[in-house]
Structure 1
Amino acid sequence: MDSSPSYLTDVGATLTATAVSVTNIAGERNEALSFTGTINSYFQISGLTTLGSSTTPFSIALYISPNVLSGTIVHISMYKNGTAGWCLPFIGFASTTHLAIQIWGGTIAKYVLGPILPINSWTHIVQTWSSTSGLSLYINGELYAHDSTSTSYGASGVANYLTLASTLQAIPYPAGGCSTTGVLGGLGYYNGLVDELRVYSRELSGLEACALTKY
């Protein structure tokens, strides 16, 4: 996310990134992206095959500094507009203002509830999933919550889009395909900063999640 417009670095796949109505400002590491909390303020990556596979483990890591404890931070969809077919918020704030992560379990969204974060302050978040370990949430390098029963991931089956800070045109299931069965059903928009987004096609260990907060 440093030095717009070349946002993507160190990737081993053919990916493209789009940033709309965002500002590059000083971040936790070099530069960060600032989002306004509106539908058309977002950052999107396409071609993420791992997140479209029901058997491949994955991890999503990022720093956030929220201005408001609401909205969707990470939204995954099979279409560019964020809706229809298959779509779900993966990381965001529940109605209680707690941070939460979730995946689509096939019939319902399985979730793990996190803490209430400080505003205007950097917090490092890691979401991991695998069919053997389930769903885990790391906060600032430490395991905060874990659901070992969330071992099924009902993925889209195609390469997905990852959108930061907006669910775009997503509307609730069944009309638009985005489930509201989890705790992130508001399909809202994130107001704040994001830095050091990383997506892995494997489950990070606790030591690796901790290491991401050190460099």
Structure 2
Amino acid sequence: MAYGTNTISPGAFGYALKFSSTTSYFQAQCFTMTKGSNSSYSFSIWVNPSISGGGGSVIHLSTSQNGNGNCYDPLVFTVTGELVAQTMQSGPSVYSLLGPVLPINTWTHVAIVISPANGMRLYVNGQLSALTSGAGGVNIFAYTNPAYITLANESPLGPSGSVGCKNGSIPIVPGAFAGALDEFRLYNRELTSQEVCVLANL
């Protein structure tokens, strides 16, 4: 469900949701249950920021509807506008990857691919941007119930939500994202680089 100051705007394909207030968001309880070391998953989304810098949560994951619980931002911005991809590991702890600054008022395809065997990979416009270093993968946190995915914010309550979530080693600024989002897709498996390339060139 979408709430706050959301408008329908031209998207990367057809129409998109545009978020323009600190309480705008879209939320669904749809994140697949995971079984730790036996699980893989991927996110795919088109992102069009309307401002440069300042942070903002593109994708927020939580076990509580208010954005709290076992929670983190799989895709979020730094204060200077760099994209950061994150995954929660058992512990729980969060591992993060630093991506590029995305251009404003331009559609950019972003994909995150996570698996225990191959770790985490961040793709931008179909090209590999960052990946976990060294051999092996990540020990994925086990979600025993479907979790909430919130787009364009970290809490339905906005700044008053007082969300306290796990972050990785890269400083991020969670909260309201200003811009438009389109074609969000969630997969309960590891996408191949060829599949990511197809999604970025639809």
Partner of 2:64, secondary structure, is coil
| Corresponding letter in the other structure for 2:130 | A
Query: Superposition RMSD on alpha carbons, in Å?
Result: 1.7
How many percent of aligned residue pairs carry the same amino acid? 33
Corresponding residue for 2:16? 32
Gaps in structure 2 of 5+ consecutive residues: 156-160
TM-score by length of 1: 0.82
TM-score by length of 2: 0.87
Q: 1:103 aligns with which of 74, 87, 97?
A: 87
Name the structure, 1 or 2, with higher relative contact order (CA <8 Å, separation 6+).
2
Count of residue pairs brought into register by the alignment: 190
Report Cα offsets for 1:76-130 as digits up to 9, x if no partner. 00111111x2111110102332101001123431011100111111100000100
1:49 CA drift (Å): 2.1
Correspondence 1:42 to 2:25: yes
Partner of 2:200, secondary structure, is coil
Q: d(CA) in 2 for partners of 1:180 and 1:101?
A: 11
Corresponding residue for 1:64? 47
Q: d(CA) in 2 for partners of 1:214 and 1:179?
A: 33
Q: Do 2:76 and 2:173's aligned partners in 1 also have CA atoms closer than 8 Å?
A: no
Partner of 1:115, secondary structure, is strand
Gaps in structure 1 of 5+ consecutive residues: 1-17, 173-177
Partner of 1:114, secondary structure, is strand
Partner of 1:62, secondary structure, is strand
1:152 CA drift (Å): 1.2
Corresponding residue for 2:189? 202
Runs of 4+ in 1 over 3 A off after TM superposition: none
1:45 CA drift (Å): 1.3
Q: Do 1:171 and 1:187's aligned partners in 2 also have CA atoms closer than 8 Å?
A: no
